[in-house]
Structure 1
Amino acid sequence: MSQAVRPYRSVLYIPGSKERALEKAMGLAADAIIFDLEDAVAIDEKANARSLLARVLTEWDFGPRARIVRVNGLDTDWGQADVATFATAIAAGAKVDAILVPKVNGPADLDAVAALVPGVALWAMMETAEGMLNAAAIAAHPRLEGMVMGTNDLAKELGSRFRPDRLAMQAGLGLCLLAAKAQGRIVIDGVFNAFKDDEGLAVECEQGRDMGFDGKTLIHPAQLEVANRAFAPSEAEIALAERQIAAFEEAERAGQGVAVVDGRIVENLHIVTAKATLAKASAIAAFG
């Protein structure tokens, strides 16, 4: 499935050290999986997780799900070995769609990993104040495919408090959204920590969707259904898109440049959005 149409409604973190969790992930309704070697893995498990994950991604079938490996930073005791291991594994046939680089502060952080892992897309964790301020330059990196908001780390660095409206996050979220959209990159919203609070998750998913995020990172499989529903076009949105396209085509045949649907003007820019809605719905249906 091409990156242009692949859905990213739900992007689930899975610890690279937990073989049982990795096995279960093959059957989960996640659009993408971040196989985590960083925060989710204890220090004394780092080496074992690296080896296990390299084997799993070589031998196991995760179907159409995007497979993203989050390595440790190159400035840590484990980052160099993570990157070297997966450079070798990918060259030998491991199925990895992207390497996710943590705490990206600027393009140089991506350059360092790109030089060590040729031929695979890079994603950037956007989780520092410096990274927010350099979002445009990061998004323009030629190897970058996607950006992931690390809102927990950003909140820690800012010293901000949790609010349901995420007021403290809005500047950083907005900068990264603008940067990603300007370059045509995928951009995924941060996690919602209260994994048993479906109502709160739904509110935050809807906020992220309405802002323009492509999907949401998740910390528990119980969150998948809510995210998948929120970031998918609704039946009403699909029906409206179809009616807009039909009305506009009829207007064009009549020599007019605009149509009217439900009392609202429909111009070519609305048709671009309508077609994108239908393409996303089609990709989700094909994803299964």
Structure 2
Amino acid sequence: MNTMTRSWLCMPASQKHMERKIIESSADIVLLDLEDSVPMCKKQFAREQLLALDPSIRGRCNLAIRVNTLAKSEGIRDLVFLLDHNIIPEYLIIPKVESSGELRVLNELTCATGQRVKTFAIIETLKGLRCIDSIINERTSLRGLILGSADISSEINFKIAERALIQIKCDIAIAAHSMGLMVIDSPCFKLNNDKALRSEIEIAKEFGYSGKIAIHPSQVELINKLFTPTATELKKARAIIKCLEASEPLTAISSLDGEMLGPPFEVMARRLLAINESLSKFNRKPA
């Protein structure tokens, strides 16, 4: 992982003053959207806005671009436009993925131009959820999955089906982790509600999500904070490793503060320390 993926601030590629907002953002990744937030009459304008971006911004900020679904012509137009103009973001986000064929088309187009891009597939339909095994096996450029809660909830009910989403969130996480992929949580649609945002993040972390989409700049700070290991968590991780390394040679089991420890605990502890080490490389002082 060469980019931190805690917070992904989504903004329409068609909006005004986009360059200034990108530079001012404290998000790990700025996600420029060509899909749902851009009306059909503004699709080409949004593409041209990307072309007009100061090239230095791509070097100073980590950018992702969400194209339209590759199952429709607008998505293919997006992709051809990006490739023709050599607009290669850190990540390319593909919405409403329902088959491995869509990722295969992406790979063929990028290979034909001699370009490769890291891809995230959004799972946001029931069909995509049912076909998730074939999607994650198309590993040519896939780096992770993103849960799209709004669209998938609309197929279940007319409101965000929170209880149903717990199971869906778990299923997507298990699929991603089984192939060594990252997994990113959908946005919290309740603006100015830190309690709701915090609750969603804590649930996502329990399932191993490494980040979350933000739909407003005010959400970024809390997302970054909660997806960053705390000093207490890191202290315990170091203690777990030290305790297990000091255990008797005939056993890989030990205990710490009344809790039995074994090899899986060491794996989780080292993973937490690795996250902290990665953060330190991005100008965050490690705990």
Residue 219 of structure 1 deviates from its aligned partner by 0.3
Superposed CA deviations along residues 114-141 of structure 1, whole A, max 9, x for unmatched, are 2222311221111000001111211121
AA matched with 2:257: D
TM-score of the two chains, using structure 1 as the length reference: 0.90
Residue 160 of structure 1 deviates from its aligned partner by 5.0
TM-score of the two chains, using structure 2 as the length reference: 0.90
Give the SS at the match of 2:190: coil
AA matched with 2:105: A
Structure 1 segments (4+ residues) deviating >4 Å: none
Residue 95 of structure 1 deviates from its aligned partner by 4.4
Aligned to 1:235: 231
Q: How many residues align?
A: 278
Q: C-alpha separation between the residues in 1 aligned to 2:66 and 2:121?
A: 9
AA matched with 1:260: S
The answer on whether the counterparts of 2:5 and 2:210 sit within 8 Å (CA) in structure 1 is yes
Aligned to 2:102: 109
1:184 to 170, 180, 184: 180
Q: C-alpha separation between the residues in 1 aligned to 2:98 and 2:271?
A: 32
The answer on whether the counterparts of 2:32 and 2:64 sit within 8 Å (CA) in structure 1 is yes
Give the SS at the match of 1:7: coil
Any residues of structure 2 matched to 1:1-288 within 5 Å, and which?
2-3=1-2, 6-56=3-53, 58-61=55-58, 63=60, 65=62, 67-90=63-86, 94-118=87-111, 119-142=116-139, 143-159=141-157, 161-162=159-160, 166-251=162-247, 256-288=251-283
Unaligned regions of 5+ residues in structure 1, if any? none
Unaligned regions of 5+ residues in structure 2, if any? none
Percent sequence identity over aligned pairs: 26
Describe the shift of the 1:75–1:258 C-alpha distance in structure 2 as closer, same or farther (beyond 3 A). Answer: closer
The answer on whether the counterparts of 1:107 and 1:137 sit within 8 Å (CA) in structure 2 is yes
AA matched with 1:128: T
Give the SS at the match of 2:247: helix
The answer on whether the counterparts of 1:26 and 1:61 sit within 8 Å (CA) in structure 2 is no
The answer on whether the counterparts of 1:26 and 1:62 sit within 8 Å (CA) in structure 2 is no
Q: C-alpha separation between the residues in 1 aligned to 2:110 and 2:204?
A: 31
